[in-house]
Every structure is written in C-alpha cells, then in structure tokens.
Structure 1
C-alpha cells in the first residue's frame, strides 16, 4: 500500500491511533502506538525516533535513541 493510500485509509476510516509493530532481536512482538494526527507523509518517509532502552537485547539508556521506519506495504486496519 502506498503512503498516500495509508494516509487516505487513516482519514476515511476515522482512525484515532496507529500501532507500529515490530519484533526485537529475540523475536518478541513489540509495538509503539502514536496518535493518528502525527502520521503524515514525513512520518511515513522519514520514520520516527523512539526510546529503545526498555526493549530486551537493544541499547542501554545512554544509547537508546532509535528510529522506526514504517512499512506501509504491511498496513491494515486492526479492529
């Protein structure tokens, strides 16, 4: 799904939150939820920064700034 299609889906379905899901190095499902108003073309193209220090096997607090890059090809509405 293209970035434009994802943005249209968020608008058309009146979606309030976007959940970015990923697995850590051990294969455990993790996620970050953001308010849908924050999701725009830049968000989808450039990704977003988050604190990865609480994820097992990742960086300590001193080096925990991480960037998630959304994969719009896997986007879907989760009721």
Structure 2
C-alpha cells in the first residue's frame, strides 16, 4: 500500500448571501426574474440538513407561493428575513 506524504487537500465552499429584498425573492421564486436554478442532490431531508441550513443561514429556506398569493408571500418572506444571518 503506497503512503503519500505532503498531500494537500483543498476544499472550497461559496458563502452565498441571501437577498433582503422581498420583491426580488418573490420574483425569483415565481420565475419572473431570470435566474439560475440548481437542484441540490438531496434524497432525504435528514437532520444534518435540517440543522446545517439554520446554523449557517439562520433559516432553512422560503416557502413557495403562487403569483395570486403575492401579498401573503411577501409578508412571510419579510418575517423569515428577520432570522437571516448572512
């Protein structure tokens, strides 16, 4: 079995800031604003995810609302943004 010395592992992670504008959040989530969507490779929403997102960001995401629920959505997003860390 070979043994390697002086091996250097580099790990990088982007810290993504959550926008604070409820209009922008609503427009992105209803796809009114062009944005890049990435589906996380999560099969099960387990405790590691449930604990990590609030620990890093202070929240675990935004609920989706239909376009006809704009006022309700923006009110909820404003409440959620009060807990955001980044």
TM norm structure 2 = 0.23
Q: Which is helix-richer, 1 or 2?
A: 2
Decide which structure has the larger Cα Rg and report it.
2
Higher relative contact order (CA 8 A, sep 6+): 2
Q: Which is strand-richer, 1 or 2?
A: 1
